[in-house]
Chain A
């Protein structure tokens, strides 16, 4: 047990998490008056960013970019890009298409759906989390378009509507020389506005720096899979990995055989022969490894996107 005359690490941490009683809070604040070490500890703790990747390493794909009139800011951003590209569209049709596909819900657009209207109009769209200002600069330098999602409360702190959520879509049109400000089209304002870079980054952090890129040319395609290195997998999920890998092989082989392919020592696309049309158990390790990596990345991606895989007890 902690000595009650001491402020334990856990009590101090509970205070910062807002889990102390009024009496405990009073004690800690009073101790701040007399204890410089405590002041320094708290001062540093407040400066160290609350890193959501630490315990909840989840990308906010299902969060809703919503704050704009009727929660249609992402649709208006996509309309902005279509207009800029000279692609004819009807705003009402855009809304209906988005609603029909559930890319737009009454509460807003899930982050992962932003850009699907543009893809519907034949544009090439890719998405990236954990992007940096330099990534936006690169995309704009190629005359491509960028839609980002931010916390509008942090973008406009004077409006005191901060809620720490990615809730608003913007089109970035320019990064000012020296990266002092970011110029954005804000559909809520129906205007292009300069935002100080530090303010923009704070607001952008809330969406895990989510960026939708609209490409002009296939040459600009630069695949950037979601980073999964830090996702932990428990032992039962490792068993699942092997099952998924084996089944993926079975699915692939069944589809090939259905299309008329059969086993051959060497791959021959004309004769439809493939050396991997053999049971998973006798596949070379190099091929098994390919399936395992795919399976592992799938499991990790599911977790990273905020879903849990739970083993049934029975």
Chain B
């Protein structure tokens, strides 16, 4: 099934899609996230049911607003991580009545001036793998088309996407290290 078919199936509350996709296929993903977020053992089924209700809340507005800028896998991963982090924090504060759904988005930095201080090119230069830095610079800063870059690098577009994903992970790691070293 394509991502579009999955999203539509979930919106339509198609039993097969919901069961097979959300409750079966996603199980390893959700299990992994829950294990990483919670120190103690939790009731997996109860937590995932809550996540499902969150996803389907407001007539599935989250699904309806999905713009396909990313894979459904990556999106659900982020959505689930944020949901469970918030749930964990709420449990810690013993304030389980807080409305998780309204607080899961992250406030961005208010100080727009600081944006200018962040030098993407400098971060690229700190990346241990030059090839990764080159790939995201060409795609993101120079605006090269993936097909053109893949051709230039003599690799397939699928390979390029894999490299790009790993490059973003490395860039994030570099940024996090930079924050630890020089950040607030």
Contact = CB atoms under 8 A, between A and B. Distances in A.
Interface in A10-64: 10-22, 25-27, 29-35, 37-51, 53-55, 57
Contacts of A164: 159, 162-163, 166
A46 B174 CA distance: 13
Contact of A9 (B105, B165, B172): B105
Contacts, number: 184
A160 to B, nearest CB: 7
B169 interface: yes
Nearest to B86: A37
A5 interface: yes
B78 interface: yes
A44 B37 contact: yes
B42 interface: no
The 4 closest A-B pairs by CB, nearest first: A18-B164, A164-B162, A13-B70, A14-B69
28 contacts: A6-B108, A10-B65, A10-B66, A10-B75, A13-B70, A13-B75, A15-B168, A17-B69, A18-B164, A18-B167, A18-B168, A19-B70, A20-B140, A26-B115, A30-B108, A31-B109, A32-B179, A37-B85, A44-B81, A48-B81, A54-B25, A55-B3, A160-B129, A164-B159, A164-B163, A165-B162, A232-B1, A232-B25
Given A29-B175, A41-B81, 9 more contacts: A10-B75, A16-B165, A18-B168, A27-B115, A30-B118, A38-B106, A48-B32, A50-B165, A165-B162
Interface of B: 1, 3, 16-17, 20-21, 24-26, 28-29, 32-33, 36-37, 62, 65-67, 69-75, 77-79, 81-82, 85, 104-110, 114-115, 118, 120, 123, 129, 131, 136, 139-141, 155, 159, 161-169, 171-173, 175-176, 179, 183-184
